[in-house]
Each structure stands twice: as C-alpha cells, then as structure tokens.
Chains A and B, each alone.
Chain A
Amino acid sequence: MKLHSKAVLLTAALLLSACSQNPFDRFGGAGGSGSGTNGVSTSALDPSSPAYFSETIGDRVLFEVDQSTLTASAESTLAQQARWLQDNGTYTAIIEGHADEQGTREYNLALGARRASAARDYLVANGVADNRLRTVTYGKERPIEICSSEDCYAKNRRAVTVISAGLGS
C-alpha cells in the first residue's frame, strides 16, 4: 500500500516536471494546485508569492454551461485576487478564458473571451488598474481535464488569472 502511494506520488512528480517549462502553469493545469491532495504537507507560503496567489487564494473561477456570468463563489475568489494584486503592485496578469469541448471552435473562442473579460472587469471594479491586466481566450483548445463528462467539463469552463512579473521587474 505504502509502495503504491509512493508510486503515485512519483508519477505525479513526473507529470509536474513534464509541464513545468511554464513557471506559472500556463494553462491552469493540475500542477500548480497539488498541495494537500497528494499527501504533501503544506508549508506556509509567502503571501506575496505568485504560488500563494494560485494555491491559497485560487487562480481560477468556474462557469456554468454556456455562461459567462460570475457565480457568488467566483466573485469571492476574484475579490481576494483583486486584493492580492493591489498589495503586490509589481505583478501583472493575463486572464485566460476557457470553454469545455461541447461547442464549436469559433463560438468557444468567443465564449472564452467573454469569461476572461468578466473576470477582468470584476478585478478592475475592485481596484486593479486595467493596464496591469490582459485577457486571452483559448476556447476549447486547452482543457485541464480530459474526460467527456460534466465532472471534467465543469473544471474546464474557467477563467484563470496567470500572474507574471511585469511592472518594474
């Protein structure tokens, strides 16, 4: 049993390293939020670190099918994101909008743009300067979950705030 979970961990670590060329997990994959789920103990992260942003606050918000309206839970996450961005003024962010695979390619690109924009507008309304934010849509091109059922689709309908060292670095 112990051996088995070790093997799982090792696999997870390999997967992590396989997609770690992008420092902030460009497409919001499982890599950035692994703490606590694989038996790894969580140490206190520096609250001003991008890792704290993505893991403790949460870098993503989820959407209902074919919707770009923010849910109450999404608004709560984005309010914390806005506070962090205000406290850490040297960072900029790209907000990625994504769709699940149930939809045509072009429409999903436009839908992803709506989602990214909804998240961005909320951050701006909560005090983040809009020149620190940019949006991009990936449509259905970069799912993080690959099954074809609602469990996976729900996680793929997302807007991910990807932090990068921007202003003054």
Chain B
Amino acid sequence: MMKQFLSASFTGLMLLFGTPLMAQDGPLRIEITEGVIEPLPFAAPTFVAETAGADQLARELVEVITADLQGSGLFRGISPDAFISQVTSFDGAVQYADWKAINAQALITGAVSTTGDGQIIVKFRLYDVFAENQLGSGLQFVGSQDGWRRMAHKVADAVYSRITGEGAYFDSRVVYVSETGPKNLRKKRLAVMDYDGANQQFLTDDSSIVLAPRFSPNGDRVLYTSYETGFPKIYVLDIASVQRRGLEEQPGTMSFAPRFAPNGQDVVFSLTQGSNTDIYKLNLGSGTRTQLTNSPFIETAPSYSPDGSKIVFESDRSGTQQLYVMDANGGEPTRISFGQGRYGTPVWSPRGDLVAFTKQNRGRFHIGVMRLDGSEERLLTASFLDEGPTWAPNGRVIMFTRESSGASGSSTLYSVDISGRNLKAVQTGGSDPSWSPLLK
C-alpha cells in the first residue's frame, strides 16, 4: 500500500523545435504586486490526441493545467464554449484573430500520444495572442502513464513561470498529518499528497500521535515527531521505502519540532529536559549533538535560512512568545518581532527574503509574513485558529492549518498567497503541512 510516490519517472524532457522568444521581452506578463490583480484570461483547448485511446488523457491534462493556473489566482480559463477556433493539429497555424475575439491573452496548445510500452508523451506550446507569437519554446515531456498529473503540473509550471517570471510550484508534494475523529480522541497519521490534494498516500498508521512532518531539502526524507514510545520523540522516514528510524536521544528527555538544515545532514529541534526546552542540532551522519540555546525559557520552532547560516526560532524569554534570529551555531539571538500579540512557528522563505509566522492577538490567530529585520509585517489570514505555515517552493504561496472551533471542530489545510489573496481550502482533515521542493 505504501508504495514509492515518485512513481512518475521522467525519462525525457527536451526542447521542441521552434524559435525561442525571450519571455522577459514579451508584452504578456503578470507582475505580482500588492495591488489588485485581474486574472489573466487564457484559452486551453483540449490537447490533440495523436494516438488512438489518448482522448481521455488529452481532456484530463487540460483540466489539471487549467485548475493549476486558475488555482494560483493569477489566471482565468476561458470556457471552451466561447472558442471560435478548434485546435485539431499541434503544428497547425494559430488563428490569432479567433483567440483575440474572445480576449484570450494566452493560448496553450498541446498534444498527447501513448507508446506501446505504457509511456505517454506530452507536448505543448504557449502563445502570446495579442503579440501574435510563441512565448518561449515548446516543451515535450515523456513519462509513465500513471504520472500524467505530474506532466500536467509541469506544463502549468512552465506557463506560470513564463508569464509571471516567478519560480514554479505546481509539480510539488505536501506531507502533512491526516486527522480523523473528535478532538479528544483524534487519530493522526502521516500522509503525503500532491500540492493540489491528489494522490494521497499514508506513511504511518494511526496507532500513535504524530506531529509536524518536515521534508528534507531534496524531498527524499521526512522528519516528524511520534509518541510511539509513549513520549514525544523524533523520527526520520525515507519516503521511497517508508522505513523509519528514531534519532539518537538523551535518556529522560523529550524532543520535537525538528527541521532539516539546507545541507540535508543536520537537524535542528527542540529538546525538553525537566521544565526547560532549548534548541539543539544533531548531525545525522556522525550523531554529534550540539546545544544552540541555553536559557531557562522556552526556545522552539527553529527554521534555517536557505543558505544555512542562520536560524529563526521562537522564545518566550521576553515574557511572551517572540521571534528571534541567531547564528546557525548558536550565540546571542536578535529579536525581530515587536508588534502586538505573540509570535510563533517562524519559517524562513525559500527565497530568503521573508519569514512566515503564526500570530496570536486578541483571541484570534493569524498567518503573517515579515522581513527578517521585523519590518513590513503583513497579516494574511485571521480566524479562530490558524497556525503552522509552510512555503511553496517558489516562496509565493503559503499553506497552513486552520482549526475550526467548538466540540465538532476539525482541521483543514488552507493556502494563501503572500499578498493575502486567493485563500482556499486544500484538504479537509489535515494539519501541519510541509511543502516539498519542486520535484525533479
């Protein structure tokens, strides 16, 4: 049941013929700013099925591509009912006038064929309708049939990146805690899914409480906390084999809140001894443990900067939870949060420019972002209980846990973009998401 999730192996990715056009020179461009964005209208006709039996795939690919682009909040798919032209040949001439007439600013065309040995080949081109030219080169993806959703995500990623100039994020996964049952008897198990909620698979059973899984920098492993022994303890799980092992621990202590360093070898986490919780680092190779904070206060939720040189974490040394930055080897931390309320669960953005956090103020919870010097704080959400942000690989979107209130309260994964737009539910019955890097 718990099979390898990266089953879609891409055996080939190559540029198609065609004249590359420098995307940055093209007029078709969404600049993501703080202002209101009118989603860019695009047309994505059903891909051309070039072999018999590929018709369903041709439809489904376009559905996923459309869902990805629309789901970003930056694009709007035009209903096929409005199309004047039909695309029946991948290499046929584009009838720009027909697409201009329905105000399609971008046109995505594609073709799919299947091979005898269960492979599929997906090709696509992106056109700037009003400039009447192709935007970037055509691309071709070859892979196994059961990885077809990944190919759709790759097409959507290429379109998104070419038009926004931002990094891609659709071809990615999220590891999280799947939750069932009432609050006082909640069952939790680790699960992994595509970023859009498809292809869910469980990684553990529900016999012990599991908390806060975190992907390794290349997505091959997951760190998490489990009560398997009756006490909170950190485990590392290999995604492909679903084999796990407990990290070396100091007898009589409890450990939680682990995260990988960008080098994939060091793990930073909280260790509780008696009443006190400090931050430690463990090297997975050598087993060497280093204490990074040493105070009688609560220090937890550490997260590395993308270059591995610094760690952001929370501490209540000032009297309430606040955010601090310290050198990756410890040392005197600098406080960065000074607004009203309490700040916790900081996570450094993959672009290095922002930290996402959970804020509690006046009985409400918020997900927010700020610069690393604490400036430009921006609250993106507000609810009874929002917590635990994780960054999309391109640093533009955040996923988090929203828990509803009351006896029947439950957890749902939500996403929001860093300008506070496009808030939406991703997966019900889930908490503690961790977004993978972009898949290879």
Contacts and interface: CB of A to CB of B under 8 A. Distances in A.
B407 to A, nearest CB: 5
Contacts of A141: 186, 209, 211
Interface residues of B, number: 41
Contacts of B432: 105
A137 B184 CA distance: 15
Given A107-B301, A113-B272, 15 more contacts: A29-B184, A102-B360, A104-B321, A104-B358, A105-B212, A106-B270, A107-B298, A107-B300, A109-B232, A118-B275, A137-B254, A138-B209, A142-B184, A142-B209, A147-B407
A106 B345 contact: yes
A143 B272 contact: no
Contact of A107 (B184, B321, B384): B321
A126 B405 CA distance: 40
B186 A110 contact: no
Interface in B168-186: 182-186
A137 B232 contact: yes
B321 A148 contact: no
Interface in B229-261: 230-232, 252, 254, 256-257
Contacts of B211: 105, 141
Nearest to B385: A101
B298 A111 contact: yes
A contact residues, range: 20 to 34
A103 interface: yes
B272 A110 contact: yes
B405 to A, nearest CB: 4
A148 B409 contact: yes
B209 to A, nearest CB: 5
B349 interface: no
B417 interface: no
Interface string A30-54: 0000000000000000000000000
Contact of B387 (A68, A105, A144, A145): A105
Contact of A103 (B186, B254, B272, B360): B360
Interface string B314-357: 10100001000000000000000000000011000000000000
B403 A101 contact: yes
Contact of A136 (B231, B275, B407): B231
28 contacts: A29-B184, A68-B275, A94-B230, A101-B403, A102-B360, A102-B385, A103-B360, A104-B345, A104-B360, A104-B387, A104-B388, A105-B211, A105-B345, A106-B256, A106-B345, A107-B314, A109-B272, A110-B270, A110-B272, A111-B298, A113-B274, A113-B277, A136-B232, A136-B254, A138-B209, A141-B211, A146-B183, A148-B409
Contact of B298 (A101, A110, A148): A110
A19 B298 contact: no
Interface of B: 182-186, 209, 211-212, 230-232, 252, 254, 256-257, 270, 272, 274-275, 277, 298, 300-301, 314, 316, 321, 344-345, 358, 360, 363, 384-385, 387-388, 403, 405-407, 409, 432
Given A141-B209, A146-B182, A146-B183, A136 B230 contact: yes
B145 to A, nearest CB: 40
A142 B277 CA distance: 20
A117 interface: yes
A105 B387 CA distance: 8
Interface in A58-111: 68, 94, 101-107, 109-111
A114 interface: yes
